[in-house]
Structures are given as structure tokens and as C-alpha cells.
DNA sequence: ACGGTCCATACGCCTAGGGATATCAGACCA
DNA sequence: TGGTCTGATATCCCTAGGCGTATGGACCGT
């Protein structure tokens, strides 16, 4: 691609003159005097190397060369004006695409409200939503596959990423309805020591997993993992079948299953945090916009 | 269509930098030092109103706005370079379209050779050939519907048109083979005084028609028109059926029909001219090229 | 801590190009 | 033949933008 060394004004003058076919009128439309317009056209013709207009007494006509150039000139000008407008729209964050990764469980809590407020404020922005667990979200942020992550237990060792807590919620015990402890309103953690656990595999979210096993450790035992499941939906389903118990963020109570009971735990100060994550120094204005929306969208705490 | 006030160099710099993602390399490819490139980009970003590149330590990246602008910039640049090249090609007469009108009878004589030499010399030029009689050709030249006419008996009262004789040929008598005069090698015009004539209607070519009736007048009679026909092919066919006789340019001898005889006439100095016609002041270089080709293409005289 | 890399900034220089006004030249018309 | 319309030319002015060299400042490796 070589660089055609033309001032765009000349092209614009050319297009206008091609429409008016009258130097005086075209100059008026361009807001300049007639002699400068003659110069512009002349310079352009010099650069092309051929006449673009045929000046007959009384009428100005396009030459074949001019007719050939006209559509290209028009296209170039509209391409540029449109491109500039689009770039400005994207630059100001009025339009564009924001790619968001989110943990499946958040589809029940923070995600809907967040999307609603954002879409309301930026209707021109397309949101690409990808369900993914915590660890892949971190990787995808680094990959620039997503721009925003919505995850649990933000990891600490991520200097290039920013995190902001959106929600902090307690843990609950997840029990089969038939489990003896389901009769209590509150379950002490130590009481779960002997039950098999259904847990998330460590790979999908090391922080949350470690958090849970840490809670158990504080209560004096190491949970025995009977089964792994990647989604909380599945965890609850497995608990319902009696395969074991679990510890989960309170918001998963929204998953209603007849055979599952959720109970507060003792000690009750253990909380898990949901955070938005983004690349520090991400120039995308939509990221800033979303973070601002997060600041104002304070969804119902569970 | 508003005028985006951007030097194209900045766009070019932008595109190259977007490909290289490295100021030093891009500057080298552009053949300038690095600081000027920084300036170009900065100026462009100022005009857009947003950053186009994200300068992170160690890596340069396109911002979303930049990603949005890039394809438009590329399109605009290629449109312009292509458009300029096309305009230059057309301006120099290497490519383009030439619209030619021609009298049907000339398809048998001057037209093929002319087209052949022209096409050989300007293979990039498209030739649009339209069969039409003389009067419509004159109108089409004024309309700018055609650029070149190939016609008989160029009219004199056309100040805006140029004419150049391509071929000058005698008239011949067209007789049914059974006609008594077909027995002679030469026919005196006066001998045709009593035969009905098949002639072209005056509207399609007043000059030629007037020429023929003029010849008859000189021989002392007014031809009695038995039938009109627009094409010489038809004239011959009608003569063959015995409907009458005719006078025609010698080149129509190429139309071979069993029942038709062509005979020289007395006096034999009457000739009809075939000419190319064009608009004087036509800026189209192809017209000049074709006229030059006519000068050299001297087809076989009939 | 110290060069090396990479981009930005700061001058200074220069030209191209855009603008205006005044004037000229040809065509056309009354 | 003189007025009008239209486009081209001639000057002059101004500034935007392009380039270079020199320098600063952040970051990264050893």
C-alpha cells in the first residue's frame, strides 16, 4: 500500500465540483472563493497527470479520467468520515463490544442486575458473555480474550489485573434434606467432619477451593472429597442424591432443589467475595464504564 | 459528505504502525526517523480525539478505537491508490471504454479492420459497438451516447463535430439477375429511369439518400420509389424478389445473393464517402487514439 | 547500579498548500 | 460593441505539518 500524497481537501473539492459542474457554485458550497477552487482542482489534476474536468465555454464536464476517479474519491471520503465517527464512538465508549467472563453461579445473583444497568446506560454497546470458571477467566484476561471477569475469591498475585469486590456473602452448608444436621437451623462446621464432601475441583478456582478447605481446617478437620463437580448446580444435585455435603456461597440458595437443605454455619463470619476483574491499563473506555456501573449497581445481598 | 481534515500521510503512518506495532520499525519502513512518527500518530490521535495505540512498556497495542479506524483507513488508502491508478490509465488512454456507432453496411468493410488494429494497439480498452444509421449517429454524438461514429456521407452543417473520410467508393447498380440490364457490364444511369427503386428512407441518412436522388437527377430522371428498406441487406433481398432496382455503395457487393447482380454505372465518377465522426474538443484520449488508428489502418478498397 | 531499548518532548527549519483580492481572457448576449 | 458570466492567473500572506537532531524518562535486562 503506497501513500497517495493528496490533501483530502482537494478530493473534497473535486467531488463537490463533480456534483455542481460549476466552479462558482462549487466554491460557494465549499465556503471559499472561486480562484482557490481553481487552484485545488489544478493541483489535483497535476498530481493525477491528466485533466479531470473539461472546461468548455458555458459548461464544465467530467473527463473520462475524472469519471474514473470520482467513485474512488467518494468512497475514500465516506470511508474516512464513517471510520472516524466509528472510532470516536468507540473511543468515547458509546459503542463497541465488551467481552465478559462470569462464573456460572453469578448468573443467579450479580450478573443480571449488572447487565441491566449497563445496557440501560450504554445501549449501543454489545456485550459478549462467556460462562467460565475463575482460573480460565484470569487466563482469558491475560490473553485479552475477555475484558471483564466476574469471579469468586480474587487471587492476590495478579499485578496486571485490578479487582473490585461486588458482593461479599457468607458460606452455607449444603445438606441432603434427609441428613441429620438438616434438622438444625445452624450447623457448626466441625459437625461436618465425618461427612463426605462434594467440592469443586481445585483447577477451576483454586482460591475458592482453598478457602473452603481452609474453613474446615480451622474447624479442625480435613474434608474428605467424595466427588468433584464443576458447577454448583451439579454440586447441589449430587448432594441431593445423598452423595455428600458441601460448603457453598449463600447465593446458591437460589438453586431450589427439593432434596437439598441450606443451613447457616458456625462460625458465621466466614465470607466469600465476588469481584469484577479487569486489566489495569486497559485503554478500553467500556471497561471504565462498566466499573462505574458496578459502583452504582449494588444488587440485592443474599 | 463532510471533509475529514486529515493528511493522508498520517493515515499511512497509522496503518504501518498498526502492522508493525513498533515505532522504530514502522518509522524505518516509512523512511523517516522515529520522533516524526510519534508526532504523526499524536496528531492523528488529537484529531480523532482518542488514543489509537496503547503504549505499554515493551509493547504497542491498538486500542479499540484504533481497531475500529484501521479497516476504514486501509480501505480509504487502497481506494485512492487504485482510483488514481485507474484515472491515470484512463487519462493516458491505456484503458477505458469507447462507444462506437456504425452503419450496418460498414460491418462488411471498414469496421472489422479498424477494430482489429485498435484492439491490437489498446488491448485494455473496451469497445462498445452500436449499430445505427447515420442520423441517429449524429444525434448520439451530440448526446454523448457514443464517442465515435462510422457513417456514410458526412453532413456539412455540424460545427461541433469532426469528420475524416475513411473510404471513398463508387456507386453500383443493384439489379435483379433477371433484369434486362443485368446482361450489360456497365449500366448507364438513364437506363434505370423507368425501373421502380428500392431505397433507404430519407430519415435514416438524408445525405446518402439525397446523393442518390441527385445522381438520378443529373441523369435526367426522378427515381420512383417502390419500397423503402432501412438496411442494405434488406434492399438487396427486395431487389432479388424483383421489386425494383437500386443504387448502392460498391462495398455492398459483399452481400452475396444468387438473384442479385451488381453492375458498374455510367458516369462512373460518382463516389460515396465513409467517414469517422467525433466531437471536436472531446477530451477522451481514446478518441484521439482511434483517429490515429484510422490514419494507419487503410483497409482494402472495394 | 548501569547500559540498552523504546517512546515522548522540545526546538528549529522549511515547504506545501490553502486563503483572499485583483485582474485578465474568452464567450455570449443584447 | 459594451456588459455579463465564467473560469484562469498573478500576488501575497499565513500556518499547518513534516522532518531532523538532541534530550528526557520509563522500563528491563544483566
pLDDT digits (tens, 9 = 90+) for A33-48: 899 999 899 989 988 8
Position B138 pLDDT exceeds 50: yes
What pLDDT does A302 receive?
32
Handedness of CA B187, B190, B194, B199 (dihedral sign): positive
CA of A5 to C1' of C14 (A): 18
Domains of chain B: 8-92 (1.10.10.10), 96-165+273-296 (3.40.190.10), 169-271 (3.40.190.10)
Count of other CB atoms within 10 angstroms of residue A106: 20
Q: What is d(CA B192, CA B263) in angstroms, rounded to the nearest whole number?
A: 12
CB-proximal positions of chain D, under 7 Å? 6-11, 17-23, 26-28
Interchain CB contact of B120 with A (< 8 Å): no
Residues 25-84 of B with CB under 8 A from A: 47-52, 54, 56, 63-69, 71-84
Position B88 pLDDT exceeds 60: yes
Dihedrals phi, psi of A94, to nearest 5 degrees: -80, -30
The three-state secondary structure class of B40 is: helix
pLDDT class of B300 with cuts at 50, 70, 90: very low
Which residues in B1-93 belong to E strands, given as ranges?
Answer: 53-56, 59-62
Count of other CB atoms within 10 angstroms of residue A48: 21
The three-state secondary structure class of A136 is: helix
pLDDT digits (tens, 9 = 90+) for B232-288: 888 999 999 999 999 999 988 888 888 999 999 988 888 899 999 998 878 788 888
Interchain CB contact of B9 with A (< 8 Å): yes
- Which whole-number Å values give the CA distances from A296 to A109, B43, B195, in the listed order? 16, 36, 105
Residues 127-166 of B with CB under 8 A from A: none
Dihedrals phi, psi of A68, to nearest 5 degrees: -75, -40
Q: Do B96 and A68 touch (CB under 8 A)?
A: yes
Residue in A26, A95, A283, A289 to test binding to B, most B beta-carbons within 10 Å? A283
C-alpha cell at B63: 486500542
- Which candidate, A248, A122, A158, A231, places its Cα nearest to that of A149? A158
C-alpha cell at A161: 489485573
CA of B146 to C1' of C26 (A): 29
> What is the percentage of chain A residues whose pLDDT exceeds 70?
97
Using the 8-state DSSP alphabet, how is residue A149 labeled?
Answer: E
Q: What is d(CA A32, CA A173) in angstroms, rounded to the nearest whole number?
A: 78
C-alpha cell at A263: 443451613
Shortest distance between the Cα of A242 and any Cα of chain B, in A, equals: 50
Q: What is d(CA B100, CA B287) in angstroms, rounded to the nearest whole number?
A: 10
pLDDT digits (tens, 9 = 90+) for B181-205: 999 999 999 999 999 999 988 887 7
C-alpha cell at B169: 467508393
Q: Which long-range contacts (CB under 8 A, 24 or more apart) does B214-218 make?
A: B215/B171, B215/B189, B215/B247, B215/B270, B216/B189, B216/B192, B216/B247, B218/B189
Q: What is d(CA B172, CA B255) in angstroms, rounded to the nearest whole number?
A: 13
Shortest distance between the Cα of B77 and any Cα of chain A, in A, equals: 7
Smallest CA–CA distance from B89 into chain A, residue = A65
Dihedrals phi, psi of A220, to nearest 5 degrees: 100, 15
Dihedrals phi, psi of B109, to nearest 5 degrees: -125, -90
The separation between the first and the last C-alpha atoms of chain A, rounded to the nearest angstrom, is: 58
Q: Do B284 and A64 touch (CB under 8 A)?
A: yes
Q: What is d(CA A223, CA A171) in angstroms, rounded to the nearest whole number?
A: 15
Q: What is d(CA B47, CA B41) in angstroms, rounded to the nearest whole number?
A: 10
Q: What is d(CA B125, CA B93) in angstroms, rounded to the nearest whole number?
A: 8
C-alpha cell at A41: 482542482
CA of B11 to C1' of D13 (A): 29
pLDDT digits (tens, 9 = 90+) for A136-166: 899 898 878 899 999 988 888 887 888 999 9
What pLDDT does A180 receive?
92
- Which whole-number Å values give the CA distances from B9 to A70, B77, B81, B85, in the listed order? 21, 10, 13, 18
**Contact between A169 and A274 (Cβ < 8 Å):** yes
Conformation bin of residue B290: beta by default, left when phi > 0, alpha when psi is -120 to 50:
alpha
CA of A36 to C1' of D11 (A): 13
C-alpha cell at A153: 475469591
State whether the beta carbon of B26 lies below 7 angstroms from any atom of strand C: no
Position B301 pLDDT exceeds 50: no
CB-proximal positions of chain C, under 7 Å? 6-11, 17-23, 26-28
The protein residue nearest D7 (Cα–C1') is A23
Smallest Cβ–Cβ distance between A65 and the set B5, B47, B90 belongs to B90
> What is the percentage of chain B residues whose pLDDT exceeds 70?
97
pLDDT class of B296 with cuts at 50, 70, 90: low
CA of B36 to C1' of C14 (A): 15
Which chain B residues contact residue A161 at CB under 8 A?
Answer: none
C-alpha cell at B69: 479506524
pLDDT digits (tens, 9 = 90+) for A173-208: 999 999 999 999 999 999 999 899 999 888 877 888
B68-B72-B77-B78 Cα dihedral, nearest 10 degrees: 120
Q: What is d(CA A105, CA A118) in angstroms, rounded to the nearest whole number?
A: 20
What pLDDT does A301 receive?
35
Q: What is d(CA A195, CA A173) in angstroms, rounded to the nearest whole number?
A: 12
pLDDT digits (tens, 9 = 90+) for A107-119: 878 898 899 999 9
Q: What is d(CA A213, CA A211) in angstroms, rounded to the nearest whole number?
A: 6
Amino acid at each position: 500500500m503506497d501513500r497517495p500524497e493528496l490533501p483530502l481537501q482537494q478530493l473534497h473539492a473535486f467531488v463537490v465540483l463533480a456534483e455542481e459542474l460549476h466552479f462558482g457554485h462549487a466554491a460557494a458550497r465549499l465556503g471559499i472563493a472561486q480562484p482557490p477552487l481553481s487552484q485545488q482542482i489544478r493541483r489535483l489534476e497535476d498530481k493525477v497527470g491528466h485533466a479531470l474536468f473539461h472546461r468548455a465555454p458555458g459548461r464544465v464536464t467530467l473527463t473520462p479520467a475524472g469519471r474514473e476517479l470520482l467513485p474512488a474519491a467518494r468512497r475514500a471520503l465516506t470511508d474516512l468520515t464513517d471510520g472516524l465517527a466509528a472510532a470516536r464512538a468507540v473511543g468515547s465508549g458509546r459503542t463497541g463490544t465488551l467481552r465478559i467472563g462470569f462464573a456460572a453461579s453469578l448468573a443467579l445473583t450479580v450478573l443480571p442486575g449488572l447487565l441491566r444497568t449497563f445496557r440501560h446506560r450504554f445501549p449501543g454497546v454489545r456485550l459478549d458473555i462467556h460462562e467460565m470458571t475463575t482460573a480460565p477467566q484470569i487466563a482469558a484476561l491475560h490473553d485479552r480474550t475477555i475484558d471483564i471477569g466476574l469471579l469468586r475469591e480474587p487471587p492476590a498475585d495478579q499485578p496486571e489485573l485490578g479487582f473490585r469486590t461486588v458482593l461479599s456473602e457468607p458460606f452455607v452448608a449444603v445438606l441432603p434434606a434427609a441428613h441429620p444436621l438438616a434438622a438444625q437451623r445452624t450447623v457448626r462446621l466441625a459437625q461436618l467432619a465425618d461427612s463426605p464432601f462434594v467440592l469443586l475441583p481445585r483447577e477451576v478456582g483454586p482460591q475458592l477451593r482453598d478457602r473452603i478447605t481452609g474453613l474446615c481446617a480451622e474447624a479442625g478437620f480435613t474434608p474428605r472429597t467424595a466427588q468433584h463437580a464443576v458447577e454448583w448446580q451439579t454440586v447441589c444435585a449430587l448432594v441431593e442424591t445423598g452423595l455428600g455435603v458441601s460448603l457453598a456461597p449463600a447465593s446458591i440458595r437460589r438453586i431450589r432443589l427439593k432434596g437439598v437443605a441450606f443451613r447457616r454455619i458456625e462460625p458465621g463470619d466466614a465470607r466469600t467475595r465476588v469481584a469484577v476483574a479487569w486489566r489495569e491499563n486497559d485503554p478500553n473506555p467500556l471497561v471504565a464504564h462498566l466499573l462505574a456501573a458496578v459502583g452504582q449497581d449494588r444488587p440485592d445481598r443474599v
